[in-house]
Amino acid sequence: MLACLIPAVAGAVARFPKPDFTSGYQYPEIVHGVPFETLWSWVDVVLLVVMMGVVVWAVYYNPNLASNPNFNPNPNGWLSKEKRSRVAVVAVSVVSVLYFGFFRSGCVCSVGAIQNVVLALTDSSYHLPWVVLLVFLLPLVAALFFGRVFCGGVCPFGALQDLVNVRNLRISRAVSGALSVIPWIYLAFAILYAATRSQFIICRFDPFIGIFRLGGDVGMIVFGAVLLLLSVFVGRPFCQFLCPYGALLGLFSRVARRKVEVTPHPCINCTLCHDVCPMDAIRPPEANKNPEHRQRGMKRVLLYMVMLPLFMVAGALLLASQSQTLSIAHKDVRLYTLLQHADEPLAEVEAFHEMGRSEEELKVKVEEVQRQYWIWSLVAGGLIGCVVGIKLLSLTLKRTRKTYEVDASACVACAKCFNYCPQNKKIN
Amino acid sequence: MNKKIYRNVAIVTAAFAIALAVMLGVSWWQSRRATPLQTEVMTTLKELNESNPDNEKLGEQIRELDLLSRRAYFTQERHLTAGVWILCGMLVVLAVCLRMYYKDSMHLPDRELNPVDEWMSKTLSRKYLGWGAGIAASVALVAVLAMSPSVRGWVKSLVTWGDGQMSEDGGLLAADDGGGASDTLLADVKADTLRVDSTLLAKDEAVQDSFPIPKITSNAFRGNNSSGKSSARGIPTSWNLKNGTNVAWQKTVPKHGYSSPVVNGRNIFLTGADQQARELYCYDLYTGELRWTVKADRIPGSPPTMPKVNADTGLAASTVATNGKVVCAIFATGDVMGVDMDGKRLWAKNLGVPDNHYGYASSLLMYGNELIVQYDNNGGAKLMALSVTTGDVLWSKSRKDKIAWSSPIVAQAAGQQAIVVMGNPAITAYSPSNGQELWRVECMSGEVGASPCANGNIIYGASEYATVVAIDGKDGTVLWEASDCMPECSSPVATKDLLYVATSYGAVCAYSTEDGSVVKQHELTTPFYSSPVVVDGKVYLFSNSGKCYIFSAGKDFNLINSFDTGEHTFATPAFTDGMMVVRTDKSLYVVKKS
Amino acid sequence: MERRKFLATCGTLLAGGSLAAMGSVLAVKASRNEGDMMWQIDPEKCVQCGRCQTECVLPVSAVKCFHANQVCGYCDLCGGYYRANVKELNTAAENMMCPTGAIQRKFVEEPYFEYTIDEELCNGCGKCVKGCSSFGNGSLFLQIQQERCLGCNECKISKVCVSGAIQRVPVGTAYKLKEHA
């Protein structure tokens, strides 16, 4: 797996002349190896496709699966027993955690690929690798057809959380409804910092990467451990409340061609699927209890529709007003501030002087960075305002449900509900 | 039954896991920044070892401690890793037990389901979201207001009003201190009278009664800031080395060197070198006792064989610089070192062996904690500032100039104290804080050996086969140029009215600082390498053959006295209260009224 | 119900269309690059601040000291091997520069010594590099060992590198080495 290279060279000072060896000493030949990354990257992509395919098959097409209307159990087949109906998804989860997680140390992942894509769209000098592009696009394409099959078990983060999960403690729907804007805010900031070439915050604050690598930033490992312990009792806390890519996938799976159904049979409103769902994606039946005048409801909806652009403008302006403060995340801005305020000689300042860079040149650069920050915080702020507005709007819409229904944007196709549904146990 | 077992196992493992996690956390916290080889004991031992080259035991102690701390570090590391794996195992057991415990909790509810009131939770959700967004927005708004200049100014005025009274006293003091700073001549004199280090005062308390510590220092080549002027008084105008009239003492210097002496307090510093060793000497000003000698040896990067140098330059041509706490010396090998007043070497390094066909000769200069080194050699010229106390490079500026043997000075340029450097082909002013170029005037050519000089805002440069030039320090405009009388090695010195220049063909002349016209010229037919020094209204100047000339420093520029000292003199003398320190070809002597 | 289905189809088409558009724009971009990108230290910019040792996500940094034999002066008194002001030129603890004993030397012939780096022991602290570049030829330098580097999406060291010496470069030039000036 090694490839030899033509090395680039840097000059050195010659204080001492090259020695004249008389003993026939030969300079040693040193070859520096490079892992054949291309191969592994393509293995990643192929596995991604294959594993998503397995989940799709397991959730939609597996004739042995109890939720399938064509369910025709073969008492001798190893997948025939009902309790194994999730086996394929669990198997994919295990493979994902072992391969994408521990073996490939969780990099590049689809979640982080958002930032590379943003960077590629904004910075023409950035080279977007094919693999990163595919890792970003394929789960979205899959979501358009089959919902969040990527989250189900292919994503090592989701898989890891799902594997350790035993209970589903819930917080109030009112709170979780409000909290569901967090992934979008996270996404907005990720875009802001990636587009300004400051930081990849999704990678920087990735809670599980430290666990997969068995090392790294201690703060993040502790955060990951806490999140993992939490996911023993709360289903997929990262996916529910943090994951920005999950937010994107949810958006696409809302309009997916096929959506996950708990059972092809009539729902008996037993609440079992609702209790077991790690994402709280199964909405209980609702009879509209407080009948309100239709006109009043309409008025409220209209009001929020009018408010939406206002929210966007307000968000954009507010975040842009903070762009100076935010820009400290950029290395050059930080260096410039250090140069202005440093009392003791810092390594950064010393290096700056040693390299003979001038403060004027840096200042010009910093001004350019801050201008970019202004533009991108307008965009990010607008996005945040838009998300908050849409969320508020969606919270004003009323819908009645007679039975338990799957919310396609939250469902991660983990197939947990399938064998909890008593209706699935019926044999055609 | 089974369920109970799972539950109990889960509880026990959970309790152990928590305890272990806490222990590991504490242990990690302790070892988090562990640098086993950089403990205080270790560093002190290593320092001791360096200063006591003959103590074998210190070395052994270091080795023992080194081994112990390494062992301890790795044991702790192993324990931590093992602990983490045990913790992981426990967590797996816990997860499995919990999974088993909750396995069959799937059962049909026995009651009729009550549909949830989703609308209520949605209303609540809306409320939370609204509040959250509102709070975030108001925080942002407050931040915007706090950042706006008008509010900031208002807050600032509130804060500063409080300690306004307190700072007034300080302000008065500061004003008093800097009162005469506008006039550079005065400032030079003020810098002269820098307080001598108090530790030195305390140490020599016993002898202090008989010999007062002189207040006037001469911290670098040609005095403080390399100005060529001293505020010393009462220097004799004649002396005799043969019979000892007006000579306090004379000593032979162990190794040869063209570097000039430097005086701070009771200490005289100078360097000497030959093929075997390069040394820094400290003599007692009053007794002439050689207080200590520090060798510039065992320096990594120092060349094993001496670079080829001209006999007129030698290996120790650069004058040292001091600030009363540290004295720094540089040699033709590129070795530079800092030594404290007791002769303890604080640091030493090699700046890269200079590629210099005559030999490196630029003198050192101190500015605050910076040691300024003009390193103009073949294959690259640069100006460096090293930390006086540690020798670390604070900044380094590459120069577009060719090789030169000139030394830097401190002068007023671009409205600030600046480092002014003369080279080929330019005179350049640098900011001492970061080495930023303030201005650059290309006016020189050939081999530049003399150093620039300054008076007030005007900076003068002169070099043989080039020019004599006066530059306005404010912006680097050339005021006048002349070519009547130009020095080779001797550096000029300027007062308000006159610029004094001594040449290697025997002419000594005074230019008018107004227009560059020659006011008066003496044809003395003896070469001058040593530089003239203006002191107590006179100009002191030594010829290579050892003849001393004393002129009156003024429009008349009369020769007051001249006599042969009998020893070849190339170095520039250093002046302090009532005393002059002269280095000759072989010896060092102090002139003092008997 | 029909209306809802129509809206859903519209939504799918919209989402699919935007995805296809973005995908094609990005595909054009992706087709323009030349192979994998790797993190690399530019030895000319590196100032050996010591952060490579502590900031890498790996427990022992992927940054290692490399040695350019062609540049080395083969000195006995090596600024990267011995601490400053050593008393004797031997391997006693008080004389050694490397905290992990990763730099080793072998006698070649009078007065030359060959220096090699034991990559397993090196932690990328750069102490020897500093010593070598201030006193010697600068034949020791820090570089990222690609077989160890995880190739993080964003190198953590690059974000704190004081001299901006860490960049992403095409795989063909992953190792920037030193050569006589």
DSSP B431-461: -TTT--EEEEEE---S---SPPEEETTEEEE
Query: Residue B128 and residue A284: Cβ atoms within 8 Å?
Result: no
Structure tokens at C17: 């269309």
pLDDT confidence of residue B117: 76
**What would the two tokens of residue B517 be?**
């016209």
Arithmetic mean of pLDDT, B271-290: 90
pLDDT, tens only, A276-316: 899 989 988 887 666 677 788 888 899 999 999 999 999 99
| Residue B404 to residue B446: CA distance in whole angstroms | 9
Q: What's the confidence (pLDDT) of residue B25?
A: 85
**In the predicted structure, residue A337 carries a pLDDT above the cut 90:** no
Above 80 in pLDDT, residue B156? Answer: no
Say if residue C4's pLDDT is above 60.
yes
Residues of B in contact with C85 (CB under 8 A): 50, 298-299, 345, 348
Alpha helices in C31-162 (DSSP H): 51-55, 127-135
C-alpha to C-alpha distance for B243 and B82, rounded to whole angstroms:
85
Hey, are the CB atoms on B348 and C99 less than 8 Å from each other?
no
Inter-chain CB proximity C136 and B59 less than 8 Å:
no
Work out the minimum CA distance from A327 to partner chain B, whole angstroms. Answer: 15
Threshold 0.80, pTM exceeds: no
Instruction: Quote the pLDDT of residue B362.
Output: 92
Higher pLDDT, A392 or C89: A392
- The answer to whether B125 contacts A173, with C-beta atoms less than 8 Å apart, is yes
Chain position carrying tokens 């996938």: A249
B594's CB contacts (< 8 A; 6+ apart) are B244, B245, B246, B247
Nearest CA in chain B to C137: B301
Rounded to an integer, the average pLDDT of C42-64 is 89
Under 8 Å between Cβ of B236 and B591: yes
CB contact under 8 A, A16 and C15: no
Q: What is the mean pLDDT of residues B170-174?
A: 38
What band does A65 get if pLDDT is binned at 50, 70 and 90? low
pLDDT at B115 over 90: no
Ranges of each domain in chain C: 1-32, 37-173
Confidence (pLDDT) at A84: 46
**Chain C interface includes B297 (CB < 8 A):** no
DSSP state of A86: T
**Closest chain A residue by Cα to residue B380:** A13
- What pLDDT sits at residue B369? 87
Q: Does B37 touch chain C (CB under 8 A)?
A: yes
C49·A351 Cβ contact <8 A: yes
A·C CB contacts under 8 A: 205
User: Looking at CA atoms only, how far is residue A352 from chain C in angstroms?
Assistant: 7
Average pLDDT, integer, range A326-343: 85
Query: Hey, is the C-beta of B53 within 8 angstroms of any chain C C-beta?
Result: yes
Mean per-residue pLDDT, B466-483: 89
Neighboring chain A residues of B141 at a CB cutoff of 8 Å: 318, 321
Residues of C in contact with B350 (CB under 8 A): 134-135
Q: Which chains touch A (3 or more CB pairs under 8 A)?
A: B, C
Residue B434 burial by CB count (10 A; 0-12/13-18/19+): exposed, middle or buried? middle
- Which two structure tokens, joined as six digits, stand for A27? 């300079």
- Whether B537 and chain C come into contact, CB under 8 Å, resolves to no
Look at residue A403 and tell me whether its pLDDT is greater than 90.
Answer: no
pLDDT tens-digit series, residues A127-174: 888 889 999 999 999 999 999 999 989 999 999 999 888 888 888 888
* Closest CA–CA distance from residue C103 to any residue of chain B (Å): 16
Q: Is B394 helix (H, G, I), strand (E, B) or coil?
A: strand
Residue C135 to residue B301, Cβ atoms within 8 A: yes
- Inform me whether the pLDDT recorded for A69 exceeds 70: no
Percent of chain B with pLDDT over 70: 87
CB spacing of A19 vs C38 below 8 angstroms: no
Q: Which of residues 108-127 of A touch C (CB under 8 A)?
A: 108, 112-113, 115-117, 120-121, 127
Predicted pLDDT at A82 = 47
* B545 contacts chain C (CB < 8 A): no
Residues 33 to 92 of A: which have CB under 8 A from any B CB? none
Contact list, B300 vs chain C (CB under 8 Å): 77-79, 82, 84, 131, 134-136
* Mean pLDDT rounded to a whole number for chain A: 85
- Beta carbons of C135 and B350 less than 8 Å apart: yes
Of the partner residues B63, B299, B302, the one whose CB lies closest to the CB of residue C93: B63
Domain ranges of chain B: 2-101, 208-592
Q: Is the dihedral of CA A304, A306, A311, A312 positive or negative?
A: positive
Which residue would you say has higher pLDDT here, B296 or A341? Answer: B296
Q: Considering only residues 258 to 297 of chain A, which have any Cβ-Cβ distance to chain B shorter than 8 Å?
A: 269-272, 276, 283-290
Kindly state the DSSP code that residue C77 receives in the 8-state scheme.
S
In C, which residues are within 8 Å of A5 by CB distance?
171-175
Instruction: Give the Å distances, CA to CA, from B92 to B10, B97, B101, B393.
Output: 10, 9, 14, 54
Residue A195 has pLDDT above 90, yes or no: yes
B118 at A interface, C-beta within 8 A: yes
Rounded average pLDDT over B99-126: 73
pLDDT at position A193 over 90: yes
Contacts of C82 in chain B (CB under 8 A): 300
CA distances from B255 to B10, B277, B572 (A): 83, 9, 18
- A418-422, B7-11, B37-41: which is most confident: B7-11
Assign B158 a pLDDT band (cuts: 50, 70, 90). low
Answer whether residue B458 shows pLDDT above 50: yes
* pLDDT above 90 (res A371): yes
* Structure tokens belonging to residue A18: 């090259």
Is the bond preceding residue A31 a cis peptide, omega within 30 degrees?
A: no
Name the 3-class secondary structure at B375: strand
The CATH classification number of B208-592 equals 2.130.10.10
Structural tokens at position B349: 């390094």
B173 shares contact with chain A (CB less than 8 Å): no
Q: For residue A233, which amino acid is it?
A: F
Cα angle at A180 between A314 and A202, to 5 degrees? 85
Q: What is the pLDDT of residue A191?
A: 95
For residues A200 and A212, the answer to whether their CB atoms sit within 8 Å is: no
Query: Taking Cα atoms as reference points, which of B29, A28, A54 lies closest to residue C106?
Result: A28
> Which of B129, B349, B436 best probes binding to A when mutated, by most A CB atoms within 10 angstroms?
B129
Q: How many angstroms separate the CA of residue B362 from the nearest CA in chain A?
A: 20
> Which pLDDT belongs to residue B462?
92
- Whether the per-residue pLDDT at B580 is higher than 90: the answer is yes
Phi and psi at B371, nearest 5°, equal -100, 115
Average pLDDT over residues B347-364: 89
Residue C58 to residue A112, Cβ atoms within 8 A: no
Q: pLDDT confidence of B428, banded at 50, 70, 90?
A: very high
Tokens 């998503």 sit on residue: A52
Least Cα separation, residue B520 to chain A (angstroms)? 45
Chain A residues in contact with C174 (beta carbon < 8 A): 5, 34
Q: How many residues does chain A have?
A: 428
Q: What is the DSSP letter of B46?
A: H
Digit-coded pLDDT (tens) for A1-26: 344 444 556 656 677 888 888 888 88
Nearest chain A residue (CA) to C116: A28
> Out of A2-11, A121-130, B453-462, C171-180, which region has the weakest mean confidence (pLDDT)?
A2-11
Q: At what angle do helices B118-147 and A359-394 cross, to 10 degrees?
A: 160
pLDDT at residue C174, rounded to an integer: 82
Residue A261 neighbours by CB under 8 Å, 6+ apart: A67, A406
- Amino acid A16: pLDDT: 81
Q: Do residues B401 and B425 touch, judged by C-beta distance below 8 A? A: yes
CA distance A172 to B127: 14
Kindly determine whether residue C136 and residue B300, on different chains, have CB atoms separated by under 8 Å: yes
In Å, how far is B260's CA from the nearest CA of chain C? 28
CB pair distance less than 8 Å for C162 and A3:
no
Contact C93 B348 (CB under 8 A): no
Q: Using the beta-carbon criterion (under 8 Å), do C146 and A129 form an inter-chain contact? A: no
The reply to whether residue C134 touches residue B349, judged by beta carbons under 8 angstroms, is: yes
Q: Which of B50, B63, B349 sits opposite C92 (nearest CB)?
A: B63
* Contact between chains at B300 and C135 (C-beta distance less than 8 A): yes
